Structure 1
């Protein structure tokens, strides 16, 4: 598409799946005109040496293998969480997701939010976003972290 659209740029980060969010590194795929324009305005050293080293290590065969494993675990946990959350009486809907989070609609999102927060689990309240009334964004973590989130919600329901 880049060859046919001179105004198109594709940005990719090495954040989530690559476990390099702190490195703040990614790339831009674009035509030569866009790249030339950006080179005029970029700082002379936009990337730190440690960030570049981390990115290069992540892009080795071993690094890419680890990333594929992380992605597979995240997908498996996302599916496990979606099934478990749908079984909870306080959950109205679990929106389809191909990301590293689930958007979940609760009967009482405020109560679910407070329950999780009081248990040390931080989630994002997205209920003010258009068409997301009553929804919380739940990031997919480790199996243990996800199980803790489920336990808190189940306990919160039992206490109600």
Structure 2
């Protein structure tokens, strides 16, 4: 009975398969782009009988200072994923409107669009990188939302901020350019946040899941001007952020905590450079992509090597990219965790 009630788009929906979807066992976890740096948080809450602030002022103020924006340009969400969904719910009409994405990229853009019966104009990362703005605008067509993951997951490629600006200018009367900066702390010089002073059609997605090492908190931010955020505020749930989450996020955005985060990013970038050297020198690796996030994506000569790693307890993320199923994404972990990858490469030779 229940299945007969399903809309066709939900019945045919292919759910997003996250790194935690499969019940895997291991001792070295490098499959979900998580930070290896755990946090010790102490929270004392005595007012859980009261509803939380819809947008906790202390967190909004702290993040706006961190992002160098005004508090009015910041909306707190349940992870960046909620920001993606909110933008589609607010600006796209089901069964009528279209979004544009550049594949391979983060899978939730497609899942959110499919869930809401929004069409997808699928372009490629090569087109985003190589096409002139005039050509790119034509390819995007009448899409209302244009998603650019920057740095891109899973390829790690970067779209220069000046190209994002040029695209926003070309689309200023027709589309929102949504820049997903989940990994921007690993390449902060390419942030599109500075574009908000010149463009009302630029939106930036942020998260505390990656560099801030709070993936379990599920906290993100929508950064935009009033033209975008005012209608989104009509759509967002009345109490999207729990009191506990707000208190932890506030601690994570203190001056000392941000200094610590940046120090950890430097360590991870150093670890990434070592890993890329090992991979480049391994005969088992045929290609290493230029990753700018907290991960490296590579192509193996033989995909059975992945099974060998998993049997040894080193869990990484297999991918099918560019029509081939021998790709692997390795999250940047601690030196000890990455030594397991090096051991796997050496044992595989």
Q: CA RMSD in A?
A: 1.6
Q: Which residue of 1 aligns with 2:307?
A: 114
* 1:12 matched to 2:206: yes
* 1:146 matched to 2:338: yes
Structure 2-normalised TM-score? 0.42
Unaligned runs of 5+ in 1: none
Q: In the comparison of the two structures, how many residue pairs are matched?
A: 155
CA deviation after TM superposition for structure 1 residue 18, in Å:
0.3
CA deviation after TM superposition for structure 1 residue 133, in Å:
5.3
Q: Which residue of 2 aligns with 1:130?
A: 322
What SS class does the counterpart of residue 122 from structure 1 fall into? strand
Q: Which residue of 2 aligns with 1:40?
A: 234
What SS class does the counterpart of residue 196 from structure 2 fall into? coil
* 1:95 matched to 2:289: yes
- Give a deviation string over 1:66-109, Cα, whole Å, max 9, x none: 1011101110000001111212111112211111111111111x
1:80 equivalent among 240, 265, 274: 274
Q: Which structure has the higher relative contact order (CA within 8 Å, separation 6+)?
A: 2
What SS class does the counterpart of residue 18 from structure 1 fall into? coil
What SS class does the counterpart of residue 2 from structure 1 fall into? helix
CA distance in structure 2 between the partners assigned to 1:83 and 1:131 by the alignment: 26
Show structure 1 runs of 4+ deviating over 4 A.
Answer: none
2:261 equivalent among 41, 54, 67: 67
Structure 1-normalised TM-score? 0.89
What SS class does the counterpart of residue 205 from structure 2 fall into? strand
Answer with 16-25 or 148-157: which moved more: 148-157
CA distance in structure 2 between the partners assigned to 1:30 and 1:132 by the alignment: 37
What SS class does the counterpart of residue 123 from structure 1 fall into? strand
Asked whether the 8 Å contact 1:90–1:106 carries over to 2, the reply is yes
- In structure 2, the CA distance between the partners of 1:12 and 1:135, relative to structure 1 (3 Å rule), is same
Answer 1 or 2: which has greater helix percent.
Answer: 1
Q: Which residue of 1 aligns with 2:98?
A: none
Asked whether the 8 Å contact 1:91–1:106 carries over to 2, the reply is yes
- In structure 2, the CA distance between the partners of 1:131 and 1:71, relative to structure 1 (3 Å rule), is farther
